[in-house]
Amino acid sequence: KEGGGVSAQNKGSWSAFLKSIASFSGDLSSLTAPPFILSSTSLVEFSSYWAEHPSIFVAPAHETDPKKRALLVLKWFLSTLKQQYASRSEKFGNEKKPLNPFLGELFIGKWEDAAGTTELVSEQVSHHPPVTAYHIQNKEHGVYLEGYNAQKASFSTTINVKQIGHAVFSIPAYNETFLITLPNLHIEGLVFGSPFVELNDKTYITSSSGYTAKIDYSGKGWLSGSKNSFVATLYPTGKERDTLYTVKGRWTKSFEIFEGSKKGSSIEVYDAESNPITPLKVAPLEEQDSMESRRAWRSVAAGIGSGDMDVVGAEKAKIEVRQRELRQKEREEGRTWERRYFSLSENDKILKELGPPIGVTPEEDKTGGVWRYDEAKASALTLKSETPLFLTPTSTMTKQTTKGSVQ
d(CA 216, CA 10): 36
Q: For residues 38 and 296, which CB has a smaller minimum distance to ligand CLR in the complex? A: 38
Per-residue burial over 381-402, b = 16 or more CB atoms within 10 Å of its CB, e = otherwise = eeeeeeeeeeeeeeeeeeeeee
Element (H, E) at 132: strand 131-138
Q: For residues 46 and 111, which CB has a smaller minimum distance to ligand CLR in the complex? A: 46
d(CA 253, CA 273): 6
Q: Assess contact for 53 and 277: CB atoms under 8 A.
A: yes
323 binds ligand CLR (CB under 6 A): no
Question: Residues 14, 57, 77, 85: which binds ligand CLR (CB under 6 A)?
Answer: 85
Q: For residues 143 and 153, which CB has a smaller minimum distance to ligand CLR in the complex? A: 153
d(CA 316, CA 399): 11
Query: Please, what is the minimum distance in Å from the beta carbon of residue 254 to ligand CLR?
Result: 21
Question: Residues 42, 79, 83, 84: which binds ligand CLR (CB under 6 A)?
Answer: 84
Residue range at the interface with ligand CLR (CB under 6 A); choices 41-49, 59-67, 273-281, 288-296: 41-49
Site for ligand CLR in 245-304 (CB under 6 A): none
Size of the site for ligand CLR (CB under 6 A): 20
Q: For residues 103 and 257, which CB has a smaller minimum distance to ligand CLR in the complex? A: 103
Q: For residues 138 and 194, which CB has a smaller minimum distance to ligand CLR in the complex? A: 194
Q: For residues 23 and 347, which CB has a smaller minimum distance to ligand CLR in the complex? A: 23
Question: Residues 6, 37, 86, 296: which binds ligand CLR (CB under 6 A)?
Answer: 37
Q: Assess contact for 203 and 149: CB atoms under 8 A.
A: no
198 binds ligand CLR (CB under 6 A): no
d(CA 67, CA 315): 51
Q: Assess contact for 26 and 394: CB atoms under 8 A.
A: no
Whether the CA torsion 351, 356, 360, 366 is positive or negative: it is positive
Interface map 86-125 toward ligand CLR (x if CB under 6 A): ---------xxxx---------------------------
SS3 letters for 253-317?
A: CEEEEEECCCCCCCCEEEEHHHCCCCCCECCCHHHCCCCEHHHHCHHHHHHHHHCCHHHHHHHHH
Q: For residues 28 and 215, which CB has a smaller minimum distance to ligand CLR in the complex? A: 28
Q: For residues 28 and 317, which CB has a smaller minimum distance to ligand CLR in the complex? A: 28
Strand partners, 56: none
Query: Please, what is the minimum distance in Å from the beta carbon of residue 385 to ligand CLR?
Result: 27
Query: Please, what is the minimum distance in Å from the beta carbon of residue 267 to ligand CLR?
Result: 29
Query: Please, what is the minimum distance in Å from the beta carbon of residue 88 to ligand CLR?
Result: 7
46 binds ligand CLR (CB under 6 A): yes
- Nearest of 18, 167, 161 to residue 98 by alpha carbon: 161
Residues in the chain, how many? 407
Query: Please, what is the minimum distance in Å from the beta carbon of residue 44 to ligand CLR?
Result: 10
Q: Assess contact for 162 and 181: CB atoms under 8 A.
A: no
Query: Please, what is the minimum distance in Å from the beta carbon of residue 197 to ligand CLR?
Result: 5
Q: For residues 244 and 282, which CB has a smaller minimum distance to ligand CLR in the complex? A: 282
- Nearest of 295, 278, 302, 276 to residue 108 by alpha carbon: 295
Tell me the CA distances in angstroms from 346 to 51, 335, 353, 368, 371, one per residue in order: 28, 20, 14, 12, 9
3-state helix, strand, coil in the chain (%, to 5): 35, 30, 35
Site for ligand CLR in 217-256 (CB under 6 A): none
Query: Please, what is the minimum distance in Å from the beta carbon of residue 196 to ligand CLR?
Result: 9
Q: For residues 45 and 176, which CB has a smaller minimum distance to ligand CLR in the complex? A: 45
Interface map 16-35 toward ligand CLR (x if CB under 6 A): ------------x----x--
Site for ligand CLR in 137-196 (CB under 6 A): 149, 151, 159, 161, 163, 187, 195
Site of interaction with ligand CLR (CB under 6 A): 28, 33, 37, 43, 46, 49, 84-85, 95-98, 149, 151, 159, 161, 163, 187, 195, 197
